[in-house]
Amino acid sequence: MSSTRKISAIMALKIKGRHYPHNIGRCDILFQSLRQFMDKELISEFLIIIPAEEEDEIRRHAENWKDFPIRLIREDKYLEKFKEFSKWYEVRPWHRQQIIKLFLCGTGCQ
């Protein structure tokens, strides 16, 4: 499928904490499936939203997916306000990442 229109994909990724340790493995499964079944020409950019404190580890692991146009985006890069709410119960990680997804989509994923 050769398409002239391309799309951006957005995914939130967190790997630390009791609910998240298997997320890296799930990403490996996702990208392997995409390699096998998706036309890579369809995706212009794959944005992965990550917590700042997990950036180094995720960046190292993302080398396994370097055949995709991946851009890692730290949560705090776009919404400085989150720095005021650093306790987990103030803005839950899932809510934080959904807000960022909406923000990025509203700005054209820039």
Quickly state the pLDDT bin for 17 (edges 50, 70, 90): confident
What is the pTM (predicted TM-score) of this model?
Answer: 0.76
- What integer best gives the mean pLDDT of the chain? 84
pLDDT one-digit tens code per residue, 27-62? 999 999 999 999 888 989 998 989 889 999 999 999
Domain boundaries, the chain: 7-106
Quickly state the pLDDT bin for 15 (edges 50, 70, 90): very high
Contacts of residue 50, Cβ cutoff 8 Å, sequence gap at least 6: 12, 13, 14, 58, 72, 73, 74, 75
